[in-house]
Amino acid sequence: MAKESFDKEIQFLRLLALTGGNYDRQQFAGRLGISVHTFDKTIRRLKEVNGDADFADLFRYNYADTAEPVLLFLYRAKSMKESESRRLPIILTALKQEPMTAAALLDVCDEQLIDSAAAPPDEKTIRSDLRYLEEIGVIRREPSGRPYRYRLNNDLTDCLTREELIELYEFVDIMANTQIPSVQGYLLRDNLKKAIKATVSESPDDSWQEEWLEPFSYRYHYDARILDEAHLYTLLRLIREHRFISFQYYSPSRKRSYTAQNTNPLFSRDNEPRRQHMLPLRVVYDHQYGRWYLLGTTPGGRIVKYRMDGIVDITAEQEIDARLCEQYAAKLDEHTRYSWLVDTGRTVTVRARFFKPAPPQNDFIQERVRMQGQWGQIVEEDAHSFIYEIKVNGYTEIRPWLRSFGSSCEVLEPAALRESLIEEWKELMNDYESF
């Protein structure tokens, strides 16, 4: 399969999802770094695949009420030749009925496409379609000899009873919504939905309810996370192949401290960022924000980190020796062992006192610290408070989490972190002084 670039669409959809679609065309185009004309073209294309729905409306839904991933349509946006989009359904529908040979399928296509403007396919075309469908596992060859007969490979759903299908569907729904990666899960979920609907038609006395297809709701979901999965498999493959890569990097914020210093994009005259060159080694998903990072080394062996949402136009470059690659990976793992997220700064010990809520409330503070505190430990505890201790690479990344506890958390060490939090709380108090 040719590599299809969805870079522009991904960037646009991310902006749309993050802002709620409230910018005007000019603002969108400006932020995407494309002309208004190109922007309009992108919109037209996306609307075509999304059945003309208003984009802004897409994101005006109640997040808790639906598990439909709105951004999934990016993965459905692949365009096809008209003739192909007519021919493949005929082949697949025929194979759903019974196993068939390429010659028989050719006849079926001839017959059904007789009124169509396009010329009926030749045998070579049918064979290449079958090869593609077999390769992606949608159909399979029957074990008998030549001429080969093919059938639709829906064993997974065919072997299950309706009750079992529903249980599988609900399992897939949960896993797609709570685990990474999830795009394939969402695609499978859609297909299982169709499979369940198909079983209903066979048993008309069943009181099947449409609403059962939304069995659970999920709160505080990061929708945009599934956009970065577009790059995930490419990157994981290149990591496995020990290959250097290059890409354009649009730093999401110029002042970030996560990206190593001289990797900041230098904008040349044509506004294209300088291409980054690196050996990818690890992908990190940040649960707090729902963001992805790519970590690796430069050709010189220096550790570099990039936000995956800033990566555009990835190209595979030279391969390096597997053993050397393992050494780099081991070094990176060593340096990120104490990273709250991806910081590889100096290791410090953070000590914080957490205050327990007054009884009869259960100790939800401790519960949260134990759940979210990663490898940190509770080292002391009394009736009113406990002390949590963690070794981390720099305290920048853990700071927001500590602050989110408000007055239930008092940082004891390091002194600099303690002082900076006091300063920040003072500023915040001034901001809200009128209350």
Partner 1 sequence: MNLFEKIFSYQLASRLEETATYTLTSQERAWLKMMLEQPAAAHALDLQTLHKIGDCLLEEEIPQLQQALTEKAGSAAGQTYSPLLRPLRLIMRRRQSMEIRRLNKHGQLILSQYGVPWKLEFSMARREWYLLWYNMRTRAAMTTRLVHIQSITEIPLPPDQYEPICQRMQDICSVERQEAVIQLLPMYNMELTRILHAFSCFDKRVEFVEQEQTYYIYLNFAGNESEYVLNRLRFLGKRVRVIEGDHLKRRMHDTATRALARYGQNADRHDID
- The residues in 372-401 that bind partner 1, with binding defined as CB under 8 A, are 372, 374, 400-401
Interaction of residue 267 with partner 1, rule CB under 8 A: no
Kindly list the distances between the CA atom of residue 61 and the CA atoms of 17, 95, 218, in Å, as whole numbers in the listed order: 11, 39, 13
Per-residue x/- marks for partner 1, 61-80, CB under 8 A?
xxxx--------x-xxxxxx
Cβ-contact 398, 350 below 8 angstroms = yes
Task: Kindly provide the b/e burial profile for residues 374-410, where b requires at least 16 CB atoms within 10 angstroms of the residue's own CB.
Answer: eebeeeeeeeebbbbbbebbbbebbbebbeeeeebbb
| Residue of the chain from 39, 42, 229, 273 that contacts partner 1 (CB under 8 A) | 229
How many C-beta neighbours within 10 Å does residue 32 have?
18
Angle between helix 123-135 and helix 82-97 axes, rounded to 10 deg: 70
Tell me which stretch binds partner 1 (CB under 8 A): 58-66, 108-116, 265-273, 386-394: 58-66
Q: Which is nearer to partner 1, 102 or 308 (CB)?
A: 308
Interaction of residue 178 with partner 1, rule CB under 8 A: yes
| Residue of the chain from 49, 104, 260, 320 that contacts partner 1 (CB under 8 A) | 49
Q: Which is nearer to partner 1, 120 or 290 (CB)?
A: 290
Q: Which is nearer to partner 1, 321 or 431 (CB)?
A: 431
The encoded tokens of residue 404 equal 């989110």
Q: Which is nearer to partner 1, 1 or 114 (CB)?
A: 1
d(CA 306, CA 263): 9
Interaction of residue 147 with partner 1, rule CB under 8 A: no
* In the complex, least distance from residue 104 CB atom to partner 1, rounded to whole angstroms: 17
Cβ-contact 120, 109 below 8 angstroms = yes
At CA 346, angle to CA 325 and CA 400, rounded to 5? Answer: 105
| CB within 8 Å of 186: residues ≥ 6 apart | 69, 72, 176, 226
Interaction of residue 172 with partner 1, rule CB under 8 A: yes
Cβ-contact 304, 263 below 8 angstroms = yes
Q: Which is nearer to partner 1, 154 or 298 (CB)?
A: 154
Residues 185-214 that bind partner 1 (CB under 8 A): 185, 187-188, 191, 194-195, 197-198, 201, 209, 212
Instruction: Using the Cα atoms of residue 253, residue 416, residue 425 and residue 382 in order, give the sign of their dihedral.
Output: positive
From the list 56, 53, 26, the residue with the least C-alpha distance to 38 is 26
d(CA 1, CA 72): 20
Residue 434 region, left (φ>0) first, then alpha (ψ -120 to 50), else beta? alpha
Per-residue x/- marks for partner 1, 322-361, CB under 8 A?
-----------------xxxx------------x--xxxx
Residues 16-45 that bind partner 1 (CB under 8 A): 17-23, 27
Q: Determine the residue type at 101.
A: T
Residues 104-143 that bind partner 1 (CB under 8 A): 133, 136-138
At CA 185, angle to CA 184 and CA 191, rounded to 5? Answer: 90
Site size for partner 1 (CB under 8 A) = 143
* In the complex, least distance from residue 325 CB atom to partner 1, rounded to whole angstroms: 11
Interaction of residue 416 with partner 1, rule CB under 8 A: no
| CB within 8 Å of 321: residues ≥ 6 apart | 242
The terminus-to-terminus CA distance of the chain in angstroms comes to: 61
* In the complex, least distance from residue 433 CB atom to partner 1, rounded to whole angstroms: 7
| Residue of the chain from 210, 321, 382, 431 that contacts partner 1 (CB under 8 A) | 431
| Residue of the chain from 53, 54, 110, 216 that contacts partner 1 (CB under 8 A) | 216
Q: Which is nearer to partner 1, 58 or 106 (CB)?
A: 58
Interaction of residue 318 with partner 1, rule CB under 8 A: no
| Residue of the chain from 34, 43, 88, 260 that contacts partner 1 (CB under 8 A) | 88
Interaction of residue 262 with partner 1, rule CB under 8 A: no
| Residue of the chain from 104, 108, 260, 284 that contacts partner 1 (CB under 8 A) | 284
Interaction of residue 233 with partner 1, rule CB under 8 A: yes
